[in-house]
Amino acid sequence: MTEGLHSMLLEHRGRRPVVPESAYVAPSAVLCGAVVLGEGSRVLHGAVLTAEDGEVRLGTNSVVMENALVRGRADHPALIGDAVMVGPHVHVNGATVEDGVFIATGAALFPGSVVGAGAELRINSVLQVNSRLEPGAVLPIGWIAVGDPALLFSPDRHDELWAIQRELDFPGTVYGVPRGAGMREIMARQSAFYGAHRDDRELPLA
């Protein structure tokens, strides 16, 4: 362990992280609230697993690599299966990830999305809200998956992508507001929501 540095375990909304003896949490990682780690799981340096008002669960022998963010939400907990690789700088926000999935550096998974078993999300790919990537599918570098079941789009096909994406209710799913709501309304709600962290309490390490 780096001198002067320790894993931060935080109680949030009255819930505490659960870390089995066989798991490893790096000294600079943060677990906040209702986070449950599986046996043999690993959370590496700079990673943040935060259960806002919904759970985060990490399965057996799954690894969350450096500087990744995994966020659980009330309507969309972050549920990560067994033998899953969550790569560096990945963003898993209220998504379900089934067993044996590989998520490469910089990929983003949005609330309500589901990744089928054995799928691969390659570097900087995006799985949009309320979209489902089929088991064994490969989402190429920088591509976007949208819909249920998801169709795959290269970034230059925005108009085709938007025709599907606009029906998936990103503002309602992520921010709880209708499409067209202004940033003042959205950010007032976000400020109130994240203000719950003012009452977080750091827990002693076992």
Provide the pLDDT confidence category of residue 169 given band limits of 50, 70 and 90.
very high
pLDDT at 11 over 90: yes
Q: Which residue matches tokens 């088991």?
A: 135
pLDDT of residue 7: 87
Instruction: State the pTM of this model.
Output: 0.94
Taking only the tens place, the pLDDT of each residue in 97-138 is 999 999 999 999 999 999 999 999 999 999 999 999 999 999
Q: What is the pLDDT of residue 76?
A: 97
Mean pLDDT (the chain, rounded): 95
CB distance 87 to 107 below 8 Å: yes
State the Cα–Cα distance between residues 147 and 116, nearest whole angstrom.
Answer: 14
Percentage of the chain lying above the pLDDT 90 cut: 94
Neighbour order of strands in the sheet with 114-115 = 35-37, 56-58, 78-80, 96-97, 114-115, 132-133
* pLDDT score for 153: 96
63-76 pLDDT, tens digit per residue, is 999 999 999 999 99
Of 179, 144, 177, 142, the residue nearest 159 (C-alpha): 144
pLDDT confidence band for 6 (50 / 70 / 90): confident
At residue 51, the 3 state secondary structure works out as: strand
pLDDT over 50 at 1, yes or no: no
Q: Check pLDDT > 70 for residue 3.
A: no
pLDDT at residue 4 in the model = 57
